[in-house]
């Protein structure tokens, strides 16, 4: 089969003819690297959909190379909205910066048992492998690199719903600017997630929680001439 790969040196697509069938894209890329073109550069780790390091775009859609089975004529490109370092390797420093802006981690926990039902509420979001596919697909992040973005907001929803977390107010405050209200709810981040996470739904839930805490949509307030006033945040 023929596989075309975007190369960073000249920004052109290079086509390789590979005699392999019913294997993952990562197996084919490894074959190209070891047998045909040692200059091809890409990233991978676990080979089993766990580490999140092998995300690329195939025919314009984000995929994990270790899970995707390619077809003849597929076109492989690096994920979008990140600086290309070389070929299919991109700068994924947004993982740290977006998580830091959103304080998307546990700040203060108390030791207590968590029920199965409580765990189920945060289980899916806990499965994020930081592959950044959702950032690649997000049209808001593509025009505003300050946007906190899908996975960091999903992680905030995960931690504010964890009964062990004692510090939710700072996270909720952190996502009011360049966060939940800037999302257009387009849903592009949902089908690309290899873990079945739906950041759009989590952002909607964070909006509801924000309103219950006294926050309001600054964009709506601006549209109404600053006339919307839900009062001060309630913590």
> Can you give the binding site for ligand FES, defined by CB under 6 A?
44-47, 49-54, 64-66
**Calpha distance 199→185 (Å, rounded):** 9
**Calpha distance 105→43 (Å, rounded):** 26
Residue 46 contact among ligand FES, ligand SF4, none, beta carbon within 5 to 8 Å by kind: ligand FES
**Calpha distance 31→19 (Å, rounded):** 10
- Judged by beta carbon, residue 176 or residue 195, the one nearer ligand FES is 195
Residue 31 contact among ligand FES, ligand SF4, none, beta carbon within 5 to 8 Å by kind: none
| Contacting residues toward ligand SF4, per CB under 6 A | 128-134, 137-140, 150-151, 154, 183-189, 192-195, 197, 199-200, 203
Residue 218 contact among ligand SF4, ligand FES, none, beta carbon within 5 to 8 Å by kind: none
Residue 47 contact among ligand FES, ligand SF4, none, beta carbon within 5 to 8 Å by kind: ligand FES
Shortest distance in whole angstroms from residue 130 CB to ligand FES: 10
- Judged by beta carbon, residue 67 or residue 118, the one nearer ligand FES is 67
Question: Which is nearest to 18 in space by CA: 96, 72, 67, 56?
Answer: 72
Q: Which residue has the tokens 């209200």?
A: 181
CB atoms within 10 A of CB 86: 15
Shortest distance in whole angstroms from residue 16 CB to ligand FES: 20
Cα distances (Å, whole numbers) of residue 88 to 4, 91, 96, 156: 12, 10, 20, 29
Strands 2-6 and 13-17, by their bridges, are antiparallel
- Judged by beta carbon, residue 45 or residue 191, the one nearer ligand FES is 45
- Contact of 56 with 24, CB cutoff 8 Å: no
Shortest distance in whole angstroms from residue 153 CB to ligand SF4: 7
What is the strand order of the sheet 61-64 is part of?
13-17, 2-6, 75-77, 55-58, 61-64
- Judged by beta carbon, residue 47 or residue 121, the one nearer ligand FES is 47
Residue 137 contact among ligand SF4, ligand FES, none, beta carbon within 5 to 8 Å by kind: ligand SF4
- Judged by beta carbon, residue 46 or residue 222, the one nearer ligand FES is 46
């Amino acid at each position: 089969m023929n596989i075309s790969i975007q190369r960073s040196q000249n920004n052109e697509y290079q086509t390789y003819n590979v005699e392999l069938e019913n294997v993952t894209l990562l197996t084919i890329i490894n074959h190209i690297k070891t047998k045909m073109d040692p200059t091809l550069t890409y990233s991978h780790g676990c080979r089993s959909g766990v580490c999140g390091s092998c995300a690329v775009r195939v025919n314009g859609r984000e995929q994990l190379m270790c899970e995707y089975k390619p077809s003849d004529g597929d076109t492989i490109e690096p994920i979008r909205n990140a600086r290309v370092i070389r070929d299919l390797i991109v700068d994924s420093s947004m993982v740290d910066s977006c998580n830091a802006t959103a304080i998307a981690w546990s700040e203060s926990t108390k030791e207590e048992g968590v029920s199965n039902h409580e765990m189920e509420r945060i289980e899916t979001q806990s499965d994020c492998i930081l592959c950044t596919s959702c950032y690649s697909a997000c049209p808001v992040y593509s025009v505003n690199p300050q946007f906190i973005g899908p996975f960091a907001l999903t992680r905030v929803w995960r931690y504010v719903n964890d009964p062990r977390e004692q510090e939710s107010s700072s996270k909720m405050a952190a996502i009011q600017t360049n966060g939940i209200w800037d999302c257009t709810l387009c849903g592009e981040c949902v089908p690309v997630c290899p873990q079945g996470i739906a950041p759009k739904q989590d952002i909607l839930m964070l909006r509801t929680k924000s309103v219950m805490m006294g926050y309001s949509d600054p964009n709506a307030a601006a549209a109404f001439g600053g006339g919307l006033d839900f009062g001060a945040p309630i913590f």
